[in-house]
Amino acid sequence: MKYISTRGDAPALSFEDVVLTGLAPDGGLYVPENLPKFSQEEIASWAGLSYQELAFKVIAPFVAGEVPDTELKKIIDDSYSTFRHDAIAPLVQTGHNEWILELFQGPTLAFKDFALQFLGNLLDYILKKRDQKVVVMGATSGDTGSAAIEGCRHCDNIDIFILHPNKRVSDVQRRQMTTVLEKNVHNIALEGNFDDCQNMVKASFGDQSFLPEGRQLVAVNSINWARIMAQIVYYFYAGLALGAPARPVSFSVPTGNFGDIFAGYLAKQMGLPIDQLVIATNANDILHRCISENDHTKKDLIHSLSPSMDIMVSSNFERLLFDLYGRDGSSIKQLMEDFKSGSMSLSEEALSTARELFTSYRLDDDEMMEVIREVFDHTEYLLDPHTAIGVQAARKTRRRQDIPMVCLSTAHPAKFPEAVRKAGQTDDPALPHHMADLFDREERFDVLDNDIAAVQKHIAANVRA
Ligand SMILES: *Cc1c(COP(=O)(O)O)cnc(C)c1O
């Protein structure tokens, strides 16, 4: 299968090259040239498959002709063998026809493990086959860094460098990264904020001449196509468990960069009967404003109690826009040019299609904490702050009670004890067993000045031969 850029001005690439490339040279994002489609009969025949078996069915068409079936099966099995729950993505009922899809059973307690465990194993396979070594460089405000490190820690052909803003990530989040002591894992605590980290990574991708001969940077942020692809699977898994394709299912998704919910949109285009797709945002509500008022204006970042959704611009939204504009790359190029000044508005046609596909809702911290309290009072189920936003957005925008509503739980509450405590829980939620000694483990990281030359020198010096 070939992959094309949303801005229409970059060469089409193979699957393997897309995984290694990240952003297209024209500034766009890669999407499949043709989306695989499954018939209702075929989807129905998947009822009862394990998560891993289903993942194979959903992913195989995207990698056809490049990754052999036996290799793909092994990559999938290895990726989900690190999860603590045999169902991989278990469903828990919290109300009438309302379900929580627990996507936090992976090694770092957030849904990002679904994509990054898979991406790590996939990169390992591709790089070994090509006898190639790469450097993974990324910036994190919390969840991405630890999931990427867990995904890459066993990859011989990868050196991974993750920048986090020194003293500005939570203790749990920092320790999940810095207690991984493999020789190919490098944590950099930058004397700056998250934007400084991100700008440094961006600039380094732009000019990679600081790297040792023969090395290139690989991006593992949410624009990497393989991450989106791996996330399509759990929509099918939950849908099948709740009666699809014989009956439709709805999903509510706590949204930041639009990666997770875009995977849901793809599942629908591929044949899964999805009724509602709910975009749930915190006070950083650019997507909610876009859908409800056609106001896609960049605003200052607000620091919320759901920090993994604190974004000003949702980068994967461009992939949806590409479809909304009839896959016309030049329209997207123009739109993104307009947006550089800080604002853009959608055409009537694009907006009305977007509104047919998505509903949206926004919650501030107070409303979010009220939801944690209420759900706990009624079910004794403790939501993390991101998941709480999804649950309330589902309740506020739900059209039909007879269609199951699945709320994606993107993190374990123990990852965000501050929000849970503020919501009135007296005891901090306990870390799962495998992480109970997190605060006793040895940490390793380097504190570096907010100076790109110093950081690049550090990277070049620490890449293994
Ligand atoms: C990354 C993240 C999100 C947002 O996901 P997107 O794919 O960026 O929309 C939501 N919740 C948690 C806990 C996350 O880590």
Distance from residue 197's CA to the centre of ligand 1 (Å)? 18
DSSP state of 252: E
Q: In a structure prediction context, what are the per-residue pLDDT tens digits for the chain, which is 465 residues long? A: 999 999 999 999 999 999 999 899 999 999 999 999 999 999 999 999 999 999 999 999 999 999 999 999 999 999 999 999 999 999 999 999 999 999 999 999 999 999 999 999 999 999 999 999 999 999 998 789 999 999 999 999 999 999 999 998 888 899 999 999 999 999 999 999 888 999 999 999 999 999 999 999 999 988 999 999 999 999 999 999 999 999 999 999 999 999 999 999 999 999 999 999 999 999 999 999 999 999 999 999 999 999 999 988 899 999 999 999 999 999 999 999 999 999 999 999 999 999 999 999 999 999 999 999 999 999 999 999 999 999 999 999 999 999 999 999 999 999 998 899 999 887 888 889 888 899 999 999 999 999 999 999 999 999 998
Q: Which of 116, 386, 409 to mutate to test the pocket of ligand 1 (most atoms within 8 A of CB)?
A: 386
| Residues lining ligand 1, Cβ inside 6 A | 110, 112, 143, 222, 254-260, 308-309, 386, 410-411
Instruction: Point out the residues that are catalytic.
Output: 112
Specify the ligand 1 atom closest to the Cα of 255. Answer: 9
Per the structure block, which two tokens stand in for 292?
A: 């409800």
DSSP state of 84: S
Instruction: Say if residue 313 is exposed, middle or buried (CB neighbours under 10 Å; 0-12, 13-18, 19+).
Output: middle
Domain ranges, ordered by start, for the chain: 88-109+225-422
- Cα dihedral sign, 35-87-307-190: negative
Distance from residue 254's CA to the centre of ligand 1 (Å)? 7
Q: Which CATH number fits domain 88-109+225-422: 3.40.50.1100, 3.40.50.1780, 3.40.50.300, 1.10.240.10?
A: 3.40.50.1100
Decide if 313 contacts 223 (C-beta within 8 A): no
Distance from residue 409's CA to the centre of ligand 1 (Å)? 10
